[in-house]
Structure 1
Amino acid sequence: MTVVMGIETSCDETGVGFVKDGVLLGDALASSIDEHVRFGGVVPEIAARAHVQAMVPTMRAALEDAGLAWHEVGAVAVTAGPGLATALHVGVAAAKATALALGVPLYGVHHLAGHAAADTLVHGPLPDRSIVLIVSGGHTSLLAVDDLVRTPIVHLSDTLDDAAGEAFDKVARLLGLPYPGGPSIDRIAREGDPTAVRFTRPLMTPRDPALGFSFSGLKSAVARYVAGPQDPGVSVADVAASFQECVADTVVTKAIRACRQEGVDTLVIVGGVAANSRVRSLAEERCAEAGIELRVPPMRLCTDNGAMIAAIGDLLVRDGARPSVPELGARSSVPLELAQLSAS
């Protein structure tokens, strides 16, 4: 079997992982998040510079973690899109150079397909049919998946505006909590009352798209509440918990609705927001009630990482997919239809 190296640089984390026959051999991750904190969000140029500086050390660390030597690597997979253009270019260039130097095939893959593949490293192959909920800083999508690499992936819905993770960052700023907003809100929400403020669940009326997502209005509702007359009985923790409950309730409700609509009994939740404790616990409760099998990767595989890219590359190699063209380029915006981008 072939050892596949995966490289991920779509945002602010430099990830490298090694997978062989569905088994994660080792990985390493370098984050530039501390350099973005003072800006309250990711600055593409800073992220790209950090990727350049971290790439070689992260490769070496991942090789050491996997107990591998360079000559044992048989293929290279890389996130070719979507993501920050400047950051993607660093990863694609590194992957091309590595594949050329080793004389092995190169596979450009879709970032979101990698997120879905991350679950296979823990729970094994996906069933013949599943619903995948991707909740991250840039994406909130419901996908109908038959096979990650053989058949087109069907988008059942995508967010109309802010993604769930983006809303977490913006609301955290409104509440005076540090960036990144997801972990900050998750921590403080544990001390709050999720029923203290009843924020309206977005796109949940009969007139709305049954599977649609929108979080811009929710962010605005929190902003109006914070700017309005303050209830001395409601703390920042209460507001954070109420907002978090609203997001969790919305995404889980729609994910289970998608399972029922498509006649599927397996739900996979991936992406950075899948690490949120309330999203995970509420999904467990609702799926148990509905008789739906829930699959969620461990927290470290929910956020961007090289292991997930190696995982989708491994699936492509084992399926006999043709390598990507040598002219493979980064694509900052590309819909998820197929796991592989720019096959030859």
Structure 2
Amino acid sequence: MRCLGIDTSNYTTSAAVFAGEVLENRRMLLPVKPGEKGLRQSDAVFHHVRQLPQVLAPILERGEAMDAVGVSASPRGAEGSYMPCFLVGKGFAQALAGAWCVPIEYFSHQQGHIAAALYSAGKLDLLRKPFLAFHVSGGTTEALLVAPDRDGMPKAVLAAQSLDLKAGQAVDRVGVMLGLPFPCGPELEKLALKWTDKVSVRPAMKGADCSLSGIENKSAAMVREGREPAETARFCIESIGAALDKMCEALLREHGSLPVLFAGGVCSNSILRDRLSQKYGAWFAAPEFSSDNGAGAAILAYKKRAGL
């Protein structure tokens, strides 16, 4: 049983093959001009159309037909969730499934992130039980109560969220302020690790929800004051960590003891991983399964068709 997974997010063109384990996990970042903070959807669609054949080529050149195709067709599982960039992956997936005469399975980008993170952490068994999952990326900062639906797929219910800026947006905006290339996560982390003194942070909370817009404003003030770039980078990441910490604390107090998973590109950050895994025994994906990738769609297609 081999399943192909495709994901065309606003950051990355990706495809993966899963056959009980991930055999391929290929991706290309979407190109962003220096100094810019992201892409318009029309530009993202254009780049995916160009890049997806390149990403798929090494997989398709082997001439091995798949038994099913999984694809991220929407950002989230909520009704009306839509983003044009996912139409590219959806169209390619439909064409390939039709050519191979195999089933196609549609998932949300968020479901894919959760599945890829669980696989990387060696915890796919959590798909059979309730758990708390954080999806922390450029487009999402959400805490989700996840439980299997009648098909055994992860169904996520929103439990808490950022009320304004998303964590990945904060990382990228602060990174661009500091002259780092977009997307800024890896370089901002390297810079932050150079700052070893304590930084003072105070998360802005409303119940279990957080507000992250203050991170951008305070960081801009630090830049104007001539503070060390490493201090500003560390302040940004520690502020995000403090907000996620308070969100998790509040939700576990409300819903009782649950396994905790952190997924999404921002969660590849080692500072966040160290803080949250120690306190909550939380599970994190390896960096290659934290950032946007097609592995989750392939894993879920395999689970749905063959069981897992």
Whether TM exceeds 0.5 here: the answer is yes
Does the CA-based 8 Å contact 2:262-2:283 persist in structure 1?
A: yes
The 1:150–1:89 alpha-carbon spacing in structure 2 relative to 1, beyond 3 Å, is: closer
* Structure-2 change in CA distance of 1:250 and 1:42 (3 Å): same
- Indicate the residue corresponding to 1:60 in structure 2: 57
Match of 1:255 in 2: 248
Q: Partner of 2:124: helix, strand, or coil? A: coil
Shift of 1:56: 2.0
Count of residue pairs the alignment pairs up = 298
Matches within 5 A, 1:206-245: 208-209=206-207, 211-227=208-224, 229-230=225-226, 234-245=227-238
Alpha-carbon distance in structure 1 between the residues aligned to 2:58 and 2:285: 22
How far did 1:40 drift? 3.0
Distance 1:170-1:9 versus aligned 2 partners, 3 A rule = same
Task: Tell me if structure 2 keeps the 8 A contact 1:13–1:29.
Answer: yes
| 1:295 corresponds to 2:283 | yes
1:48 correspondence with 2:49: no
What secondary structure, in the 3-state scheme, does the structure 2 residue paired with 1:37 have? Answer: coil
- Asked if the contact 1:8–1:306 (Cα under 8 Å) also holds between the matched residues in 2, the reply is yes
The letter of the residue matching 1:111 is: H
Judge conservation of contact 1:140–1:159 (CA < 8 Å) in 2: yes
Aligned partners of 1:274, 1:265: CA distance in 2, in Å? 19
Seen in structure 2, the aligned counterparts of structure 1 residues 152 and 301 have a Cα distance that, compared at 3 Å, is closer
1:108 aligns with 2:106: yes
Alignment of 1:180-329 (within 5 A): 180-193=183-196, 195-196=198-199, 198-203=200-205, 208-209=206-207, 211-227=208-224, 229-230=225-226, 234-287=227-280, 293-318=281-306
Q: Distance in 1 between matches of 2:153 and 2:296?
A: 18
Q: Find the counterpart in structure 2 of residue 80 from structure 1.
A: 73
Residues 68-217 of structure 1: matches in 2 within 5 Å? 69-71=63-65, 73-82=66-75, 85-122=83-120, 123-127=122-126, 128-147=129-148, 149-150=152-153, 152-193=155-196, 195-196=198-199, 198-203=200-205, 208-209=206-207, 211-217=208-214
Secondary structure, aligned partner of 1:155: strand
- Per the alignment, do residues 126 and 158 of structure 1 end up closer, same or farther by CA in structure 2, a change over 3 Å counting? farther
- CA change 1:50–1:84 in 2 (3 A) is farther
Per the normalisation by structure 1, the TM-score is: 0.79
In structure 2, do the counterparts of structure 1 residues 192 and 49 end up closer, same or farther at CA, with 3 Å as the change threshold? same
Check 1:243–1:38 CA distance in 2 against 1; reply closer, same or farther (3 A cut): closer
Q: CA deviation at 1:214?
A: 1.7
Unaligned stretches of 5+ in structure 1?
A: 288-292, 321-344
Deviates more, 1:257-266 or 1:49-58: 257-266
Task: State how far apart, in whole Å, the 2-side matches of 1:152 and 1:116 are.
Answer: 10
Encode CA deviations 1:111-130: one digit per residue, 9 max, x unaligned. Answer: 10110001232313243221
**Gap regions ≥5 residues in structure 2:** 76-80
Instruction: Tell me if structure 2 keeps the 8 A contact 1:3–1:74.
Output: yes
Matched residues, percent identical?
25
* 1:161 partner amino acid: D
1:176-221 Cα deviation digits (max 9, x unpaired): 333222222111111114524x243121xxxx21x10221122122
Larger radius of gyration: 1
Letter in 1 for 2:275: L
Query: How far did 1:131 drift?
Result: 0.8
Looking at structure 2, the residues matched to 59 and 165 of structure 1 have their Cα atoms a distance apart, in angstroms, of 27
> Which stretch has the larger CA shift, 133-142 or 218-227?
218-227
**For 1:95-138, what per-residue CA distance to the aligned partner results, in whole angstroms no more than 9, with x for missing partners?**
11101111111111111011000123231324322111111111
User: Aligned partner of 1:201: which letter?
Assistant: P
2:35 and 2:236 map into 1 onto residues whose CA distance is: 24
